[in-house]
A and B are shown apart, each in its own frame.
Chain A
Amino acid sequence: MKNLHLKILAFTLIAVGVGLMWHKVTTLGLPLTPDEETTIWTVEARIKVEAEGGPAQVNFMLPGNLPGFNVLREDFVSGRFGLSRENDGLNRQALWTARRADGQQTLYYRLQIADAQNASRTSVDGSQPPYPAVPEYSEPYGSAALTVLDEVRQESADIASFTRRLLNRYYHESPDEHVQVLRGGIEDDLTHVENVIHILAGARIPARAAHVLELREGMRRVDTVPYLEVYTGSEWVPFNPTAGQRGYGESTLVWYRGDAPLLYTSGANAIDVGFSAARTARAVVDVAEQRAELIGSRVMDFSLFSLPVDTQNVYRTLMLVPIGALVVVFMRNVVGVKTFGTFMPVLIALAFRETQLLWGIILFTSLVAMGLTFRFYLERLKLLLVPRVASVLVAVVLLMMSMSIVSHHLGLEYGLSIALFPMVILAMTIERMSLVWEEEGASNAIQQGVGSLVVAAIGYGVMNYPPLAHLVFVFPESLLIILAIMLLMGRYSGFRLTEFWRFRSLFRETSRT
């Protein structure tokens, strides 16, 4: 097949580019659009214990699997205690130990988390638990439980809807007689959840309690609330038991799961555990960077963010040049616009970024017009090429300078930004334009001049489109995609749009014969 090599190459480039971008978006949460902010929660747990003087150990549950959040960092303030961490597969634990501890000790655990975009809050991955045996209920609890389970089973389609029906019934404002038996004077929220788990065991549905924090800005000294997680056969589905709603809320932080206590001490008395939280907003990009560091991803090491800020700013501009070049390729090979110099329009477009479009066009046009006048005068002096172009260059610099000074005195600040025009390119453009003017006539020269300006203006429009600028800067691999498009365009052998006009008489003719 013709061009197979090229197509494979282009496809590979696109695949690599898209793959890297996908990786960055999904695992690091880098945003595809600029100015995205994410909510950062700083959650702090304060543990106060009264040590008894001898060896002391404090076990404290830590968040391990947090649906809907990414962990950015965690800190421990351990005082005189030594710290070790354990992971039993279900939960993480902090183990603070001291050979000798006395008096009141305060330990801190601080966690910084960010909203994970697009993460699922309605299901949690997990290994398959053993199916519970049907408990031996005592009467009248047992018959009430079985009756309720039977009725709920008839009203539901799967485990999730079964659980929701059961919860709705159990937590109903005016419970029926069976539920009243089941609730049997329980006051505590956690005990209620444990009770539901006990009832679910009657239907052989694995369930567990999740201890969560409902995060609120400025909350202090709050406690965990119990949620219910049931296993549906492939995943754990969380429920807010009192509301009977599936899934964790937007600011629900799962601290740990199961029926172990949050805090367990030996050789010391737990006095108090309190959680507090604060919310801040930060640019998503910063968050991703921090997260990459935490999970040890090397991808961000090769990102432009690892450069000093002023160098970053240079690259913010440089990374746009390929986009401008793509515009030029398209305008020349697909549309068929004639320009002076292949990439002159890109550089002019970059200068337009500083001057703004309208002022850029005005300044550029007047500069070229005056430069051309000077060039036509030079023609009389019969100079050699290089000294002549150099003279035009000097004239261009002088013109730029005087335009800046005049506009400054007139109070037009845009006139100052003329200094950013690429003057060597301008001098070359003037030289080229005067040659075309002499050899092919003024109309050709003006046509090409206008063509260059139009391409520059379009290039400016595309390069100044913030989402695009953000994309190439945050995902430099997108240049691979641009490269692939250019390669494919390099084998474009169809008509240029302007050729439909050029050969119009031939297209008409065939319709007649």
Chain B
Amino acid sequence: MIGFLRRVREAGILGMNQRNADFIMEYNNRKYYPLVDDKLQTKKLAQDAGIRVPELYGMIEIERQIRQLSVMLDGRDDFVIKPAHGSGGNGILVIAGQQHGQYRRASGLLMPLEDVGHHVSNILSGMHSLGGQADKAVIEQRVQFDPLFDDISYRGVPDIRTVVFRGVPVMAMVRLPTRRSDGKANLHQGAVGAGLDIATGQTTTAVCLDKPVHAHPDTGAPIKGIQIPGWLDLLTLAARCHALAHLGYLGVDIVLDRTQGPMMLELNARPGLSIQLANRASLRHRLRIIEALDSIPEDARERAELARELFATPGLQETADVAGKTDDIAAEPSGTNLSRVSL
């Protein structure tokens, strides 16, 4: 029991309460939340700052505009509809094509225009938004994602989530959609999270539904060792988003477009904690290191380089070894740790 508690302390895992109390409340000023909670505002801010984002096709603000949906979507069969104030990836409809006069979703299901209209109506009524307030529906370009992740994702858009603290990227992961997550790149819906080595941009360990995995559950391809192209640029992009949102503790979601390169998809003021499981590393240690820094470079690229320097995992090989051994952990019957805690 005591040994377990010591290990818990040494692991330095950031819990939900500590994330909220020590980082989100300390470093994120509430008045900047609307900037990241409203995806339209984030998009405009990013465009002004010269950060590439998916192109905005249109926006629906009132119920009546749904009638013009067919006009608005005319000629487009490849787009994403999402709530401007969505949370947790809910309410995102990905249309990947047209078939027999119906839209084809990323999951392969066909959907008549009428159903798309209903989806928009649900978005407007605030069904998917934080706190249920009335919302806007955003129609934007569907990213033609880089074939890099083709083997290890099941439809949908894989994205790269980076936690940026005081402008310094501290931890990153690739989120790979699975059949179970219905093409969504959200870990709690069943997507795979693959940790990224901050120094090299290579995938390391991975997690799916809080359990360590080393192959994609649908494709069976190994996840480890995939190199993200232009890694320093990507880190720099994530670091730049800090100035955009004025949030000290920030999650930046970036997608890799086949032709246009990295694009900022959205920002998150309350990034989740599963990134620790994906990387098999502690956020708290890294956050405390950044917290202890006296000065932080002004330039985003310098901050990205600082991160590579600080969080280069000397034992990358070693971590990878442990990841290889994790199968038996995942296969073990549940309940041992928790019961030890409660005893």
What size tier do the contact residues of chain A reach? 20 to 34
B337 is an interface residue with CB less than 8 A from chain A: yes
B73 is an interface residue with CB less than 8 A from chain A: no
Contact B188 A440 (CB under 8 A): yes
Q: Which of A125-133, A134-142, A491-499 contacts B (4 or more CB under 8 A)?
A: A491-499
Q: Given the complex of chains A and B, what is the CA–CA distance between A439 and B188 in angstroms?
A: 10
Contact B118 A336 (CB under 8 A): no
A500 and B127 in contact, given A493-B17, A509-B280 (Cβ under 8 angstroms): no
Contact B211 A505 (CB under 8 A): yes
- Across the two chains, which residue of chain A brings its CB closest to B125? A385
- Across the two chains, which residue of chain B brings its CB closest to A439? B90
A496 and B16 in contact, given A382-B118, A504-B337 (Cβ under 8 angstroms): yes
Q: Given the complex of chains A and B, what is the CA–CA distance between A503 and B13 in angstroms?
A: 8
B144 is an interface residue with CB less than 8 A from chain A: no
B342 is an interface residue with CB less than 8 A from chain A: yes
In the complex, per-residue mask of B10-34: 1 if CB is within 8 Å of any chain A CB, else 0: 1101011110111000000000000
Q: In whole Å, how far is A385's beta carbon from the nearest beta carbon of chain B?
A: 3
Taking CB atoms, residues of chain A closer than 8 Å to B90 are 435, 439
B343 is an interface residue with CB less than 8 A from chain A: no
A5 is an interface residue with CB less than 8 A from chain B: no
Q: Which listed residue, B18, B63, B322, touches A384 by the CB 8 Å rule?
A: B63
In the complex, per-residue mask of A300-341: 1 if CB is within 8 Å of any chain B CB, else 0: 000000000000000000000000000000000100100000
Contact B276 A506 (CB under 8 A): yes
Taking CB atoms, residues of chain A closer than 8 Å to B125 are 384-386
Q: In whole Å, how far is B129's beta carbon from the nearest beta carbon of chain A?
A: 11
A507 and B188 in contact, given A500-B341, A502-B210 (Cβ under 8 angstroms): no
Taking CB atoms, residues of chain B closer than 8 Å to A505 are 210-212, 277, 280, 326, 329-330
Contact B17 A504 (CB under 8 A): no
Q: In whole Å, how far is A511's beta carbon from the nearest beta carbon of chain B?
A: 5
Q: Is the interface of B mostly helix, strand, loop or mixed?
A: helix
Contact B16 A513 (CB under 8 A): no
Contact B337 A336 (CB under 8 A): no
Contact A496 B17 (CB under 8 A): yes
Contact A495 B280 (CB under 8 A): no
In the complex, per-residue mask of A376-391: 1 if CB is within 8 Å of any chain B CB, else 0: 0000001011100000
A118 is an interface residue with CB less than 8 A from chain B: no
Taking CB atoms, residues of chain B closer than 8 Å to A500 are 8, 337-338, 341
Taking CB atoms, residues of chain B closer than 8 Å to A502 are 210, 277
Q: Which listed residue, A384, A440, A441, A499, touches B13 by the CB 8 Å rule?
A: A499
Q: In whole Å, how far is A472's beta carbon from the nearest beta carbon of chain B?
A: 27
Q: In whole Å, how far is A46's beta carbon from the nearest beta carbon of chain B?
A: 69
Q: In whole Å, how far is A42's beta carbon from the nearest beta carbon of chain B?
A: 56
Contact A491 B276 (CB under 8 A): no
Taking CB atoms, residues of chain B closer than 8 Å to A491 are 21
Q: Which listed residue, A441, A494, A507, touches B17 by the CB 8 Å rule?
A: A494
Q: Given the complex of chains A and B, what is the CA–CA distance between A496 and B21 in angstroms?
A: 13
In the complex, per-residue mask of B304-343: 1 if CB is within 8 Å of any chain A CB, else 0: 0000000000000010001001100110001001100110
- Across the two chains, which residue of chain A brings its CB closest to B188? A440
Taking CB atoms, residues of chain A closer than 8 Å to B280 are 505-506, 509
B126 is an interface residue with CB less than 8 A from chain A: yes
B202 is an interface residue with CB less than 8 A from chain A: no
Contact B338 A497 (CB under 8 A): yes
Contact A506 B13 (CB under 8 A): yes
A512 and B338 in contact, given A439-B90, A496-B16, A506-B277 (Cβ under 8 angstroms): no
Q: Which listed residue, B20, B180, B322, B326, touches A513 by the CB 8 Å rule?
A: B322
- Across the two chains, which residue of chain A brings its CB closest to B190? A441
Q: Which listed residue, B15, B180, B211, touches A494 by the CB 8 Å rule?
A: B15
Q: What would 8 A/B residue contacts be, using CB atoms closer than 8 Å?
A: A435-B127, A439-B90, A493-B18, A500-B338, A505-B329, A506-B11, A506-B276, A510-B10
Residues on A facing B (Cβ under 8 Å): 333, 336, 382, 384-386, 435, 439-441, 444, 491-513
Extra 12 A-B pairs, beta carbons < 8 Å, given A439-B189, A492-B17, A493-B22: A336-B16, A382-B115, A382-B121, A384-B63, A384-B125, A495-B17, A496-B15, A506-B282, A507-B11, A509-B322, A511-B3, A513-B322
